[in-house]
Amino acid sequence: MEEIRIERLRTYTEDEINWDELQAIGISSERLSKMGEMESLLKGRRTRPFLITPTIFGYSIDMEVTLQMEDDTTGRPIMRIEGIHQNK
């Protein structure tokens, strides 16, 4: 018989997010709230794509990303930041 696996999403709190680290790449709780994405993020869902502009080696780079909260292997909450590849 085939095993069916159902993954339940965990609910997170804003206090579990390291906002200082995220602010360095232009992500803040205020911005996510204004975008209407905070609730989805805290429910463990992926956000809609949006633009960030991190500075890497002194160069500002525009990147379209999605965010999603998940637990690492020790159960600690982390933010998954996934870049969107755009074909030109």
Domain count, the chain: 1
Cβ-based neighbour number of residue 31 at 10 Å: 15
5, pLDDT greater than 80: no
65, pLDDT greater than 60: yes
In a domain, 3, yes or no: no
Q: What is the pLDDT of residue 56?
A: 84
Q: What is the pLDDT of residue 14?
A: 95
Residue 87 carries which side chain, given as an amino acid letter? N
Confidence of residue 12 (pLDDT cuts 50, 70, 90): very high
In a domain, 4, yes or no: no
In a domain, 2, yes or no: no
In a domain, 73, yes or no: yes
Q: What is the pLDDT of residue 54?
A: 87
Give 6-71 as a DSSP string.
-PPPPP--GGGS-HHHHHTTT--HHHHHHHT-HHHHHTTPPPPPEEE--EETTEE--EEEEEEEEE
Domain that holds residue 29: 14-83
Tell me the mean pLDDT in the region 12-33.
Answer: 92
Q: What is the pLDDT of residue 26?
A: 86
